[in-house]
Copies of this chain bind each other. A is one copy, B any other.
Amino acid sequence: MKQSKWIWYPGDFELYHSMLLHNRRRVLGVYNNLNSDKGTEIASTYYYPMWRVDGPRRNCTLYKKAKIEKAETVELISNTDTATLWINGKYHKTGVKVELLPGEYEIKLKGFKDGGFPCFYVKGETFASDETWRVLDFDKKDMSAGCNNAYNNPDDNPEIFNFSYKRMDPVSKISTQGGVLYDFGRETFGKLVLKNVNPEIKELLISLGETEEEATDIYETTLVLNATLENGEFTGESSALRYAYIPSFDGNAELYLDYEYLDIKDTAEFKCDIPLINKIWDTCVYTLHLNMREGFFDGIKRDRWVWSGDAYQSYFVNYYLTKDTDTVRRTIRMLRGTNPMTTHINTITDYTFYWICSIWDYYFFTGDKQFVTDMYPDMLSTLEFIEGRLADDGMYTTRNGDWVFIDWSTFDKKEGPICAEQMLLCHAYTAMAKCASLLSDEKTANHCNDKANYMRSKINELYWDEEKGAFVDDYTSGRRNVTRHANIFALLFDLTSKERQESIIKNVIYNKDITPITTPYFEFYELDAMCKIGDFKYVTDMLHSYWGGMINLGATTIWEEFDPTMNGTEHYAMYGEKYGKSLCHAWGASPIYLLGKYALGVRPTSVGYATFDICPDLMCFKYFEGKVPVLDGEVSVKMDKSSVTVCSSKDGGTLVINGKNYKITKNIPLTVSIK
């Protein structure tokens, strides 16, 4: 029998899991009495998401029409007891085997579910449920049913996200401060399990921490588990931790972790002669995997949310690490939510612009036109939302409720629209134009190209400061403040002339008086720009000092922010909280992307890696070898000072070295000496 898939209203799977994950954040709620600093009860309490979180549909109708030549039997399975199999006007319940004699059939699946979302599975041949079914809807045009390859068995439940689990035991257990501290050896994520507590006890507190200090500081830690043992056992909610601390306890207990992860294999590899860089690579890989869940998370301890700007970088890292593309698609759907769009994505203007860019980038890396088609109605309404809030001159202007982020840096944000924001919108217009053109919507393509050209020229007219030889943050305050951000975007997105780009490199990039970038988030863009202009030394220096700085302090995952001048627990504070900083933040994983793209040097030159260049550069290394995924294939690169060897499992590659191009034949290694 043909393989069936669970099907649903397209996007509902993502909306549902997005709704759950955005409502999972917890904070320490402690105080029974507002007027006492320390309360009588310590408990994790719910922390509300900062933007509107949309749920899935409660009602769904899917249908398929076909003429069958051979008799077949169909049977509906569903997660809702309202589910009905409607065949040529007659109604059947789930679990009923209906024989279809040869003939023409229209079959509809109808159902309602409040809590969870309605899902359907039809056993059959012609009518096996899959993406060839369509959705009947009052909102949008006829669309393909939603499905996901992880849910192809009748006993699967799409309401339960398909994580894998592995038992992990603590590497150490010590008694300290009257309690017991367990250490899992490195940052990790999953469900803590407690068994065989002796002396027997009904309720106890487990304080979690990314550091020992956090775990044992029970009035200041971020997360606690209030364990109520049933039959002597407790399983906690999935949480981030390295340490687990049971205060006021000197007994024995069996405690371990059901490590929760997505079973996604890495394609990429990187090994070089510098052990610190190898450790950075491994730490970045681990950091990304911990944050690669229902969608790409910002960090696993605190928010555990999907932020568009953070996710945007994770997409690139992921394209250079794995062959998984579903997590990108899921994340893009989660971020957009449903209509009407009433605020920017995550309430952040730049994050809406990145969202548009991400769809073109996704297409460029994967060649998956279907997904662009599926998302296009939402892209159009996003564009409409954006344009409904522009200034009279068509440039971006801040509206009430808009959060202009760009980076955790000081900009003249209140003194008028800042340059970096305009550049992102201009870049988004370009991406939108390319998607529109792909789908033959020439009217939108022309409009967006015109807008991109117009913005580019306005940006160059309004924000360029001839004396400073750079773009300034704003042109209204007269303060002529230069920050790196807009100037980096100008290089990355080719938003100004060659002459001005040279000027930026000299007057901003290499100007030590311009405040440096402090977040790994914006380092992604800065280092990408530095590589683009060929300054690999800057990049490998940053790897050593910045990423290496964290590793040298014992980091097992990359942090949200790092300031080498800080000491001890100073490193853990952020947002006014003693342990507010996330020590496992996806946006620190960019070295995977940078090393893959610029050291191993693999870069697509057309959609879906139909063609790609391999431009390896030894950078600061004596030697390296590694691999990069190229959609459905992979490229290995091995290089030392004398030669480079490449091999690709996919056609279309060109080795670019010594100023020459070498066409690569699939599966045949090519070695070229380096002059």
Task: Report A74-89 CB contacts with B as 1/0, cut-off 8 Å.
Answer: 0000000011100110
Partner of A58, one of B53, B61, B100, B111: B53
Check if A343 is an interface residue, CB within 8 A of chain B: yes
Contacts of A27 in B (CB 8 A): 91
Task: Report A10-53 CB contacts with B as 1/0, cut-off 8 Å.
Answer: 00000000011001000111111111000001010111110111
With A46-B91, A138-B343 already in contact, 17 other A-B pairs whose C-beta atoms are closer than 8 Å = A30-B91, A32-B92, A32-B98, A33-B98, A34-B87, A34-B99, A34-B101, A45-B84, A45-B92, A46-B84, A48-B112, A53-B58, A53-B59, A55-B58, A55-B114, A114-B115, A340-B340
Check if A339 is an interface residue, CB within 8 A of chain B: yes
B32 contacts A96, C-beta separation under 8 Å: yes
- Report the contact-size class of chain A (Cβ under 8 Å from the partner): 35 or more
A448 to chain B, nearest CB (A): 23
Partner of A82, one of B31, B46, B115: B46
Partner of A19, one of B31, B58, B88, B139: B58
B29 contacts A84, C-beta separation under 8 Å: yes
A48 contacts B52, C-beta separation under 8 Å: no
Q: How many copies does the complex hold?
A: 2
Contacts of A401 in B (CB 8 A): 138
Looking at A55, A58, A87, A342, which has the most chain B CB atoms within 10 Å of its CB? A58
Partner of A52, one of B34, B111, B139: B139
Residue of B nearest to A342 (CB): B139
A98 contacts B34, C-beta separation under 8 Å: yes
A26 to chain B, nearest CB (A): 9
A110 contacts B46, C-beta separation under 8 Å: yes
Q: Knowing A34-B98, A99-B34 touch, does A29 contact B112 (C-beta < 8 A)?
A: no
Task: Report A127-161 CB contacts with B as 1/0, cut-off 8 Å.
Answer: 00000000001110000000000000000000000
B112 contacts A115, C-beta separation under 8 Å: no
Check if A166 is an interface residue, CB within 8 A of chain B: no
Rounded to whole angstroms, the CA-CA distance of A114 and B19 in the bound complex is 9
A194-220 contacts to B, CB under 8 A, are none
Could you jot down 25 A-B contacts, CB within 8 Å? A19-B58, A20-B114, A29-B92, A30-B91, A32-B98, A34-B101, A35-B99, A35-B101, A41-B96, A43-B93, A45-B92, A45-B93, A47-B84, A48-B61, A48-B110, A48-B112, A51-B138, A52-B59, A52-B137, A53-B58, A53-B59, A55-B57, A55-B114, A138-B342, A339-B340
Contacts of A59 in B (CB 8 A): 23, 48-49, 52-53
A contacts, CB < 8 Å to B: 19-20, 23, 27-35, 41, 43, 45-49, 51-53, 55, 57-59, 61, 82-84, 87-88, 90-93, 96-101, 110-112, 114-116, 137-139, 339-340, 342-343, 347, 401
Contacts of A58 in B (CB 8 A): 19, 23, 53, 55
Contacts of A82 in B (CB 8 A): 23, 46
A251 to chain B, nearest CB (A): 27
Partner of A114, one of B34, B49, B116: B116
Contacts of A53 in B (CB 8 A): 58-59, 112
